[in-house]
Amino acid sequence: MNVNNIVIICLAFLLLLPAWAENDAKNRQKVNMAIAGGLKWLADSQVQEGNTKGSWDSEKFRVATASFAGLAFLANAHKPGKGEYGKVLDQTMDYVMKQMAPDGYLGSQDQQMYVHAVATLFALSYLGRSDDADKEKKLAAWCQKSIGLIIKAQKVAMKRQLALGGWRYSPDTSESDTSVTCWMLLVLHTAKQAGFTIDQGIFDEGLKYINNAWMIRKVDIYDDKGQATGRKKEIKGFVYRKGVSLEPEAAATGIAVFVKSILEKKRDSKVNESLAYLKNYPPVWGAEHYNGYFFFASFYITQGMFQIGGDEWIDYRNKMNKALLENQKGNGRWPLPDNNKGQSSKAGLAYPTAMAILILSLEKQLLPMYQRQKELF
């Protein structure tokens, strides 16, 4: 290639840059408008009276839904007691704080450590942002109690060998799974960032459990529309439950990559090979590979892809944003896909809206759990 051709190619590339920048700015504007609409809907639909004041209507998982909603506001730079949504945040935190049982458990209503994790994560993300010194002091003690229960639950006696180091649905179970374990490690990592003392051995044991959940297996290949192609390939990823699950799962792999990238000092081959696996699961609204849990699985996979970074993240982000923006309702809320499984539908209308906002807000990195530790590629 001669010098003239090189110059022509470079000039053509430079001429295209303004168009790319303009398109990117327009896309960001659309995302921000969607987020604003979702936050307004959440604020307008918050319960304003009674013993559930500060929460959102739901059949089950009310504490978790309220906590996800609170995180959605914090993820977009809204502060307790200040500005347009300061009152919403304060009411949400007041509601969540009242739900703690005497032993420190927050999931007793729904028998779910998931609920405990999300509520604690919201509280830790809220901590330090309020100007109310008395409330901050009480919240710090509240968080310490909640964290203590998580640590105690990891050390439950009679844990099965395959469950050592992990957590599952209740604080006294002898079982573990990758999903709940990743949530607990994420909470403890956030707690450490907030200044709480967490023994490194707790992280080491949790990571050991996650790394033991690695599996190699042949699975279906999905097309860009999320449909099975009828072809199979060998994949390597993380399973939901070691010794029980028959093959890796995209959601488990996504959150495992997320947590490993935050907590491990060096990248291992599992993270590299997870990228190849996650590419088989494009972000498509309600696709069958989400197994009826579009928002929960998308939240996991998106976190993993964000930590991977680079062109893979940009491509995934653009497709995910498109899927979410195309399915937002005119009043600002998001529905659940038609094939959604019944369990998450009991979390109420605020649940998918809060999750969509959290996914769309990921790059703002305003929550401790969002902060990129390093790009893996």
- Angle between helical axes of 113-126 and 62-74 (0-180°, round to 10): 30
Say if CB 12 and CB 324 are below 8 A apart.
no
Tens-digit pLDDT string for the chain (377 aa)? 555 665 555 555 555 545 445 567 788 899 999 999 999 999 999 999 999 999 999 999 999 999 999 999 999 999 999 999 999 999 999 999 999 999 999 988 877 899 999 999 999 999 999 999 999 999 999 999 999 999 999 988 667 788 899 999 999 998 999 999 999 999 999 999 899 999 999 999 999 999 999 999 887 878 877 788 888 878 899 999 998 998 899 999 999 999 998 899 887 889 888 888 888 889 999 988 888 889 999 998 998 888 888 899 999 999 999 999 999 999 999 999 998 877 778 899 999 999 999 999 999 989 988 665 544 43
Q: Domain ranges in the chain?
A: 31-370
Q: What is the pLDDT of residue 323?
A: 97
- Tokens for 338, please give them: 């038609």
* DSSP β-bridge partners for residue 218: 234
How many Cα atoms sit within 13 Å of 57 on the Cβ side? 6
Q: Which stretches within the chain are classed as H helix?
A: 3-45, 62-74, 86-97, 113-126, 133-154, 178-193, 200-211, 250-263, 269-278, 294-308, 310-326, 342-345, 350-360
CATH class of 31-370: mainly alpha
b/e per residue 28-58 (b: at least 16 CB within 10 A): eeebeebbebbbebbbebbbeeeebebbbeb
Q: For residue 203, count other CB atoms closer than 10 A to its CB.
A: 19
